[in-house]
Amino acid sequence: MSTHRIALLPGDGIGVDVVREGQLVLDTLAQTTGAMRWDMQEFPWSCDYYLQHGQYMPDDALDTLDGFDAILYGACGLPDVVPDEISQHQGVLRVRQGFELYVNLRPARLLPGLPTPLAGKGPGDFDLLCVRENSEGEYAGCGGRVHQGSSYEVALQTTVFTREGVERIIRYAFDLTMRLGRRHVTNVTKSNALQFAPVFWDEVFEEVAADYPGITTDRNLVDAAAARMVSSPETFDVLVASNLFGDILSDIGGALMGSLGVPASANINPEGAHPPMFEPVHGSAPDIAGQGIASPIATIWAAAMMVEHLGHAKEAELVMAALGDVTASGALTPDLGGDATTADCGAAVRDALRARAVSAAA
Ligand code: NAD
Ligand code: IPM
Ligand code: MN
């Protein structure tokens, strides 16, 4: 039986509550299936840690994390305590970029029973996969501010697209489409108004697409893609988007799935150079932090993605099935229209997991 070393980074706000539920579900999965062992270690890196140590994570944090098989992250940021531009760059973005986790996979589909705002839509009606570039683009950190405080102050933030960075994410999207037996890739772009970087992105997309004649493609300007996600999400299959566009579209996906408490994401270096990181799409939700009412579904889903990535496809399906049992029958948090607490919802998922494991063994 394999033992997997997992780093737990709860981070800030509701991250602490939801990672605890993710961890408990992973423990239950190991106990009920006997398929794996977890060797988990939690790290206190957070805005509180920043206040004590002057940095969000220690200097050698990436060296430490590199010794793990995977990372389960909660959320980063308490903007009233530490400016976001500091905590995000020293926290979550440092791991994504420092580990060259250049793929950010963000699925959007309806779990049974969840309250989508889309009239007449239910599970199976849409199932899209956003492949978000995660290492450069608008997030490259290229820019600066000069003449601060003066009337002629200047602020620049420059999108950086490299051939290597653009080609590898688009190729990954096509390879993934093939591997999953999907058929269609949408190029999300903005090459009408922005005449340099997105035009280059489109050219690379066309070059790569030519290597995959069995996969159909279309090109969608990001503003129109945002509208299309709401009006006809079923017309999407796989989307490939730059860092910022993928960020925005994946929160729209969360809203369609019932709440930001639902969608999960995987940050991956496909070459396996560094450990992958799994996290909810949502943030630290300061507006509800400390109330014990955050949905743990996104983090449990992220944990399922981690289980699959670590080679346990059957067990990952089991977690998703248990999540589906709970979303179909109650124990939902207030964001999803219920009155359950974070702990109630997590406990219900673990009960469902045990029930499924027992019936599978019978
Ligand atoms: P957010 O995702 O934290 O919250 C947006 C809204 O969704 C809030 O009303 C919140 O209550 C709700 N929500 C989010 N997760 C929920 C859950 N699990 N259950 C129920 N409701 C949930 O976004 P924000 O308010 O824009 O950002 C708050 C902080 O989080 C900021 O510091 C931001 O930078 C940070 N952030 C971090 C990450 C990350 O670490 N990956 C992601 C997004 C935002
Ligand atoms: C996300 C978040 C992050 C992002 C922030 C917190 C830096 O919004 O994971 O979607 O923009 O990638
Ligand atoms: Mn986001």
The pLDDT tens digits for 85-108 are: 999 999 999 999 999 999 999 999
Contact of 269 with 215, CB cutoff 8 Å: no
Closest-lying ligand 2 atom to the alpha carbon of residue 96: 12
pLDDT at position 24 is 98
Residue 270 has pLDDT above 80, yes or no: yes
Residues 6+ apart with CB under 8 A from 162: 136
Instruction: Reduce the DSSP state of residue 153 to 3 states and report it.
Output: coil
Report the residue among 80, 281, 282 best suited for mutation to probe ligand 1: largest number of ligand atoms under 8 A from its CB.
282
Q: For atom 12 of ligand 2, which residue has the closest CA?
A: 247
* Model confidence pLDDT, tens digit, residues 214-246: 999 999 999 999 999 999 999 999 999 999 999
Q: Which of 204, 242, 238, 206 is nearest to 221 (CA)?
A: 242
**End-to-end Cα spacing for the chain:** 22
pLDDT at 1 over 90: no
**By C-alpha distance, which of 154, 94, 165 is closest to 132?**
165
Residue whose CA is closest, atom 11 of ligand 2? 247
For ligand 2, whether the C-beta of 92 sits within 6 Å is yes
Annotated catalytic residue, options 48, 175, 202, 251:
251
pTM over 0.85: yes
Interacting residues of 58 by C-beta distance below 8 A, sequence separation 6+: 45, 64
Residue nearest atom 44 of ligand 1, based on CA coordinates: 283
By alpha-carbon position, which residue is closest to atom 42 of ligand 1?
283
Give the Å distance between the CA of 139 and the centre of ligand 2: 10
Instruction: Quote the pLDDT of residue 361.
Output: 75
| Ligand nearest, relative to CA of residue 135 | 2
Q: What average pLDDT does range 194-199 have in this prediction? A: 98
139 is catalytic: yes
pLDDT score at 330: 80
Distance in angstroms (rounded) separating the CA atoms of residues 269 and 101: 4
In the annotation, is 121 catalytic?
A: no
Q: What is the per-residue pLDDT across 141-188, written as a single tens digit (0 to 9) for each?
A: 999 999 999 999 999 999 999 999 999 999 999 999 999 999 999 999
Catalytic residue (one of 50, 73, 172, 190): 190
Buried b (16+ CB within 10 A) or exposed e, 196-213: ebbeebbebbeebbeebe
Q: Does any ligand 1 atom lie closer than 6 A to the CB of residue 335?
A: yes
Which of 14, 84, 88 to probe ligand 2 with, by most ligand atoms within 8 A of CB? 88
Q: Look at residue 213 and give its three-state secondary structure.
A: coil
What pLDDT is stored for residue 360 in this prediction?
A: 78
Distance, CA of 342 to CA of 294 (rounded, Å): 5
pLDDT at 358 over 90: no
247 is catalytic: yes
- Phi, psi angle pair for 126, to nearest 5°: -150, 150
What is the CA(283)–ligand 1 centre distance, in A? Answer: 3
Cβ of 14 below 6 Å from ligand 1: yes
Q: Which ligand is nearest to the CA of 16?
A: 1
Q: Is the CB of 242 under 6 A from ligand 2?
A: no
Q: How far is the CA of 86 from the centre of ligand 1 (A)?
A: 16
Task: Give me the residue label for tokens 């653009």.
Answer: 166
Predicted pLDDT at 362: 74
pLDDT band at 304 (very low <50, low <70, confident <90, very high): very high
Residue 136 pLDDT level (bands cut at 50, 70, 90): very high
Length of the chain: 362
- The closest ligand to the CA of 19 turns out to be 1
Mean pLDDT estimate for the chain: 97
Burial 46-63 (b: 16+ CB within 10 A, else e): bbebbeeeeebbeeebee
Long-range contacts of 202-210 (CB under 8 A, 24+ apart): 204/163, 204/166, 204/167, 204/170, 205/170, 205/240, 207/167, 208/167, 208/170, 208/171, 208/174, 209/170, 209/174, 209/185
Tens-place pLDDT, residues 11-62: 999 999 999 999 999 999 999 999 999 999 999 999 999 999 999 999 999 9
DSSP state of 118: S
Least confident of 153-157, 225-229, 309-313, 355-359: 355-359
